[in-house]
A and B are shown apart, each in its own frame.
Chain A
């Protein structure tokens, strides 16, 4: 029965010839482990294709939806993290195996006649793969993808003459937005994959025409060792592919794929590309100012030119220099090592920079925060940045970082050179530290205000005064008796000679009625120079409704109010 079906199929399709042609290609000089890389890359590309299709079932390319849909894959889709992980690590693995394939074919001298065209096809494939890698990591529209890709499109923008137009063409406009995503998405899932598979077809066809580049043995030896592709070479290829896919799976299973906080054009983010673009990134550092183009375009262009031109360089030199292909392969290897070294330098300089570590830690915290907020009830249809508005303290933190930290620096900055620092503001510790030394750098030390004398009374009175001032903020955990005691001290200890407690103020020093309550901080931020607050002494900028809309003000005051239960961040 099966035999008859096979015979029928054979008579209608001729499939046996096809299978035979595929499996019984002659491998000159016999099967070798070093020939496996091309097949391995192909298998990894197929894995990218199927995982890419599965991701595409959930991904939505718009600025409001992209991050949300990727986060949905990460948190709601069954096996979603594994799926993203395989696609993410698969991309890295392809770059690694492509590099090995390049080195192997270079040392075999595969760029020599008659394989020049296949070398060029391989070069084109290499460019397509880099293009896929570059367009891929913008798609989640997270901080990393957003800022790292900005670097790439900005480089395009620095090109002479055509730069600005080219950048606008790639981005779909003068700035990043929906059109950038739809363009990169189309490139990543349609154009580049179509080109990739088409050129793979050419690459394999040319390979079948010329065969492997055999080792340098006498031709009768090569003929004696010749064997068909099946079974040994196919087995070798499959073993290495399986190991590769296995490693990708292990990495995907254990580490998954990263997802940063949603892209925020107003934020400051340390843009670092994926590891395989780090060498280019490092190169940018060496050429500043007018010489920028050397690092962004000229040197990478020369390197790529050398790679593409190898067959012709070889032809030009081979008549004069014997065995020049070894020399060229050596030069290529040296170049690759140099590229790797540049990447290592980039990694090392980041590792030695505490600011980088701090920003990375903050980025991680933001990512966790964004995902937590998303888990509370989905991402608003207006976009993931509105997630932060779900939680006034989180939103306030962002507003404070953006608006206030220009002057009120983060408390742990060393040395501290800002206006009074706000982390832990109005907590008992903050108040008593302030009373003991109002001119300390974390308080008024960096301002012109030096009228307030340090408090030198007994510890007991300090505690009572602190409790009284603390109680003004409308705190639930006030010890009433202690605060009462502090209120009595307010006059006797001389506070009242400058500070009032009537909600009107004198213009000499801030009125302390309701100090650090939400109403007080809101009124203060709107008009710090009014007589209720610092009056003539004021140095702070005024934040009116245009600079700080009411919704943001609510968030800032919520954040400030919450600081009273936070620890101080300075010694």
Chain B
């Protein structure tokens, strides 16, 4: 070893390869938790959120037959580590039918997501952004909306009206849950 720089190139190559191997091992080890946590949000949540828990919106008598009423959908929301009670997650137009059933329509316009209003003069739903119009039952009547308003499942438990809230993809004719 008097002059290592003159050592046979095979030896230098071997030591070099060993160094690269060990350096690679360090990098690989460090990458495991770093990449694991980085891509963690792409994995299915280990604690699926109670998306389907219906949200109470009032009692049956609060709704007049045939007149849509806008209700806010309020529930507790867990955002990563933080749980907020009583957060407004959305809104719906709820109409009580003569036969005691209910229709609930998401206020989110299926076109581009504006909030759909009730046009009391014409007795239709109207989107203020791009003039889409819908019947009180939610079907599309005019404008650029690719489909009718999105219905939400309503459940009546005794006197209480509950809504199963969902969000749908906008801008496509099909109804796809987000």
A interface residues (Cβ-Cβ under 8 A, vs B): 30, 43, 46-47, 50-51, 53-55, 57-58, 60, 64-65, 68-69, 71-73, 76-80, 82-83, 85-86, 224-225, 227-228, 230-232, 234-235, 238-239, 241-242, 245-246, 249, 252, 377-381
Contact = CB atoms under 8 A, between A and B. Distances in A.
Given A68-B82, A381-B83, A239 B22 contact: yes
Contact of B83 (A57, A73, A380): A380
Interface stretch (B26-34, B66-74, B101-109, B118-126): B26-34
A242 B27 CA distance: 9
B47 to A, nearest CB: 7
A58, A83, A235, A378: most-surrounded residue (chain B CB, <10 A): A378
B88 interface: no
A80 B29 contact: no
Nearest to A240: B22
B61 interface: no
Interface residues of B, number: 36
Contacts of A241: 22, 26
A158 B36 CA distance: 45
Contact of B5 (A54, A73, A228, A252): A228
Nearest to A237: B19
A231 B37 contact: no
A227 B15 CA distance: 14
A308 B32 CA distance: 39
B29 A71 contact: no
B37 A76 contact: no
A236 to B, nearest CB: 9
B15 A79 contact: no
Interface stretch (B38-46, B91-99, B134-142, B167-175): B38-46
B87 to A, nearest CB: 9
Interface in B14-30: 15-16, 18-19, 22-23, 25-26, 29-30
Contacts of B177: none
A55 B37 CA distance: 8
Contacts of B38: 54, 57
A83 B30 CA distance: 9
B16 A50 contact: no
A47 B1 CA distance: 34
Contact of B37 (A68, A78, A245): A78
A239 B25 CA distance: 10
B82 A73 contact: no
Contacts of A225: 2
Contacts of B81: 60, 65, 68-69, 71-72, 76, 378-379
Contact of B34 (A54, A235, A242, A380): A54
A76 B46 contact: yes
Given A51-B34, A85-B33, A225-B2, 8 more contacts: A55-B37, A78-B36, A79-B40, A83-B34, A83-B36, A232-B15, A242-B22, A378-B82
A83 B33 contact: yes
Contacts of B37: 54-55, 57-58, 73, 77-80, 83
26 contacts: A54-B33, A54-B34, A57-B37, A57-B38, A65-B81, A65-B82, A76-B80, A77-B40, A78-B36, A78-B40, A79-B37, A83-B33, A83-B37, A231-B12, A232-B4, A232-B15, A235-B15, A235-B18, A235-B19, A238-B23, A239-B22, A242-B26, A245-B26, A378-B83, A379-B83, A380-B84
Interface in B54-71: none
Nearest to A83: B33
A262 to B, nearest CB: 12
Closest 9 CB pairs of A and B: A79-B36, A378-B83, A231-B15, A72-B81, A83-B33, A78-B40, A68-B81, A378-B78, A227-B4
B52 interface: no
Contacts of A78: 36-37, 39-40, 43
A503 to B, nearest CB: 37
Given A232-B4, A238-B19, A378-B83, A80 B30 contact: no
B34 A50 contact: yes
B36 A86 contact: no
Nearest to B16: A231
Nearest to A76: B46
Interface in B104-155: none
Nearest to A78: B40
Nearest to B84: A381
A48 B16 CA distance: 26
B85 interface: yes
Nearest to A239: B22
Contacts of A54: 33-34, 37-38
A246 B29 contact: yes
A239 B85 CA distance: 53
B32, B34, B46: most-surrounded residue (chain A CB, <10 A): B34
Contact of A47 (B30, B76, B78): B30
A53 B85 CA distance: 31
